[in-house]
Structure 1
Amino acid sequence: MSLKKNNGKINLFYSKFFQGLYNKPSFFPIKEISNESKIVDMVWSEKKPWFFTYTQNNFSVLYT
């Protein structure tokens, strides 16, 4: 799971969901990702555990 903030950074979380109505899901922060320029958008790959980010300076980055 990931969350893009307005300050141009991305937070990655590990999430664990339990079966059952009374168990709440757990979220654990893994890493905060930032770039020299502000991150504007991110997209997860459909087939691999990768994601792409697009920065304010028209620069794309692949994270594996």
Structure 2
Amino acid sequence: MTDMPTPIIRRLNLSKLSFGWLEIGASLAAMSSLVADAHKVAYLAPHASRRRQPDVVPDDDLEGRDPTW
């Protein structure tokens, strides 16, 4: 029973992890940060600087302004 883990480790090559896994992890991290930045630009930034818009003045209350302009 003690010899069972040895062939399993040899078959899976768990002892020889390469730098390829690090490159995949780095590229996934970069892609997720790009998606997060795109989300901020597309959805959050347009609403972050928006101030309260003034209400529309009704046409009957022009307060001395020229209505034919």
- Could you tell me the TM-score, scaled by structure 1's length? 0.21
**Higher RCO structure (Cα 8 Å, ≥6 apart):** 1
Q: Is the radius of gyration larger for structure 1 or structure 2?
A: 2
- Could you tell me the TM-score, scaled by structure 2's length? 0.20
Q: Which has the higher helix share?
A: 2
Q: Which has the higher strand share?
A: 1
